[in-house]
Amino acid sequence: MAPHHAEDLGMTAAKPSRPAAKAPRRAVAAADRTRQPTEVRRRLIVEAAVPLIAERGYAAVGVRDVAAAAGVSVGTVTYHFGSVQEILSEAMVLHIERYYAALHEAADRASSGAEALRLLVDALFTEDTDRHWRMWFDYWNAGSVVEGGAKDEAFARGQAQRYEAWHSQIRALAERAVADGEFTCDDLDGFTVRFAALADGLALQRLRQAPPLSTQDARRHLNRLIGTELRPSA
């Protein structure tokens, strides 16, 4: 078992009265002895890191920043996490999963596959989604950083899982539209790849504004791809 941190336990030992005697312990209030479960403390730290990344960017957030935002000591942060990258990686995963879960729920409420695709496009590009796209690209850039000449394989696997889940969501909506008889498509896998690639490219252009791109134009380009790739049923 890993040693407890003093700031988490709030316990000290009394000075021994003679060498042979066992050092007695001072009574400590129950509230001071209580530790939050590891998963709760980890979640607290990760939750605190999400707005920091959104505000400053992935590379500009350090362990002291996270500790201050979470209201814990630096020692507590390093006790629960092996590196700053581990904290920020979990924070990014938390944000991304929440973001795409909201998209999925909105699509599920749609009355048809075609409407679900339109809702997806609308949700991908709003004035509020620029923060998400900044965090998304920070997450991918972080995965290309090599420490000590070796790539972080666990980090890379996590990235791959995020992207596989995103592709699955796009494909499921296209399949639904085809099953509903609204569209026909000979290559759903190809459509999925091209939709995801175009969304990423438009998001990057939107953030850099080189050349300028409005949210309305970004949506228009994606809807045009849908109309071209998923041909309306006769």
Give the start-to-end residue ranges of the domains of the chain. Answer: 1-11+26-82, 85-234
Q: Please say if the pLDDT value at position 88 is more than 70.
A: yes
Q: Please say if the pLDDT value at position 49 is more than 80.
A: yes
Q: Average pLDDT of 22-30?
A: 40
pTM of the prediction?
0.72
How confident is the model at residue 89, as a pLDDT? 83
How confident is the model at residue 27, as a pLDDT? 37
Q: Average pLDDT of 187-203?
A: 97
Q: Please say if the pLDDT value at position 31 is more than 70.
A: no
Class of domain 1-11+26-82: mainly alpha
Around Cβ 2, how many Cβ atoms within 10 Å? 7
> Yes or no: is domain 85-234 CATH 3.30.420.40?
no
Helix (H, G, I), strand (E, B) or coil at 100: helix
pLDDT, tens digit, 9 for 90 and up, residues 136-165 = 888 887 766 555 555 677 778 888 888 898
How confident is the model at residue 146, as a pLDDT? 57
Helices (H), 12-112: 30-33, 38-56, 63-70, 74-80, 84-108
**Packing angle, helices 188-208 and 215-229, rounded to 10:** 170
Round to whole Å and give the CA distance between 112 and 100.
19
